[in-house]
Structure 1
Amino acid sequence: MSSLPEKKSLLDIITQKIVTSQLWRSIFRHGYPDTPLNQSLVMMGNVFLHLHPVKVSRQAMKITYTWCMGGISFFLFLVLTLTGVFLMFYYVPETHTAYQNINQLSSAVSFGHLVRNMHRWAAHLMVVSVTLHMIRVFYHGAYKPPREFNWVVGVGLFFCTLFLSFTGYLLPWDQIALWAITVGTNLAPYTPILGQPVYQVLVGGPAVGQATLIRFYVGHVILLPLATAILLAVHFWRIRKDGGAAGPPPPPRRELEARLAEAEQGLAPTAAR
């Protein structure tokens, strides 16, 4: 005597309907990643997993003082983006209202003072972390083949970071910002060949004023973040293509064997000569 089919619960029926729907299959074009094929499909279909290197050497993952400085810089860039969008709702790039906007943001807007300080300190920390990241890359020789192009992209990101900090410094429109940017832009005419045109592009007139504030604002919230995002995408893609993050070079085989032998004997490893 054949047994009757087990009756499905309402939750099982709804789940089955959702999983087999055209909308679900259009979003998730692969199965559960339990087989090598599905794992490959998941990686190829996800932009974040696709950017991540397939293999990462243990030497590159060794925790050091400058470990993950690139990732910290990217995290700070995301913090700056989110807090910057919040600040844009309360800031008007006009010389007669900019300073009042900042004061009102800090005193009258809920969490305004906190968000502004997060934006400010994240900007300072990003300059420090990007600088340390470049020093680490240079010290480990990660600019050498096959990573020359990614080194150039990293230099571009470094200058984007500096320009973001420079353009954002003027936006509060207080005395410190005004005279700091005045001194900074007055150095531009002394640049060989392109000195005066660069000054006109930055200042937009005979002195720092409304035109300068507009130019710095557009560069700070549109041009430079867009350029940074594009360079970041290329940077991450090249890291994957170049075989992952480059860590410190491994010690020579003989030296490594000697250290292991000394460690087994309970002796302190001697310094490399």
Structure 2
Amino acid sequence: MDVHHAPVPDRTDERPDAPRRTLLLVDDEQNILAALRRLLRRDPYHILTATSGQEGLDVLAGHAVDVIVSDQRMPGMLGADFLRKARLLYPQTMRIMLSGYTELQAVTDAVNEGAIFKFLTKPWDDQQLRGHLAEAFRLKGIDDDNARLNEQLREANLALAVANDAMQALLHRQQHQISRDEVSLGIAREVLQFLPLPVLGLDEDGMIAFINTAAAQLFERGAALLGNEAALALPQLFQAHADTQRKVTIGGKSYAVALHAMGARSRSRGSLVTLCLDGTPP
């Protein structure tokens, strides 16, 4: 296999990050390959050559090729058959046939099958050939960009799906925790509700947020106290905020009043006030 690597000319108009553009020339006549290399020496192509269809397939197996230019009449394998195999094995390539023999049926079949992008006859027009090559590389670049964007989109969608699954799992855990907290809160409220000990709950602004049955029975207004400011509704208890524990007289009985600040071991805010019958005459 005769593989030649033509030097890539210094092109100031090429992007520094542009991928290397590789061209494969396949022809059984060495003078044709040499003429094509001379013609394209000023173009920014990395050129590989082969002298038969099988050698062309061997080159494709070892190199990333963008555009192929193949002769039709070659020993062992016709150009149309070579380009069909190239399309089957390397569909991302752009394929051009350059031949001095216009075998209409073979060329037409290859074009209709999508094996050939362009068909040019020998002798070729230099500018026309260079123009078709430039167009082929341009279209190959668009295809590569689309493939890269599709891959990036696929990766982004995959990452989004993973993030969405993680968020759903987090929301499920949070919802489960909220449900557990609601159950725990319901149990706690029920326990406090049926304690024989009068209990009042104050929010962080000093409003009465909870009053159990024992407390409702102790005070004349009972449950009507809910939502009122403790300092105004129960001034004798509100004074207990000055001290964590003190004694008050309610209905002729002495009670020990204790104030418990909430939030030390939870996210609760406010305070809990308990009244315990002291048993000592005022």
Is the pair's TM-score, using the shorter chain for normalization, greater than 0.5? no
TM, length-normalised to structure 1 = 0.25
Q: Which has the higher contact order (CA 8 A, sep 6+)?
A: 1
TM, length-normalised to structure 2 = 0.24
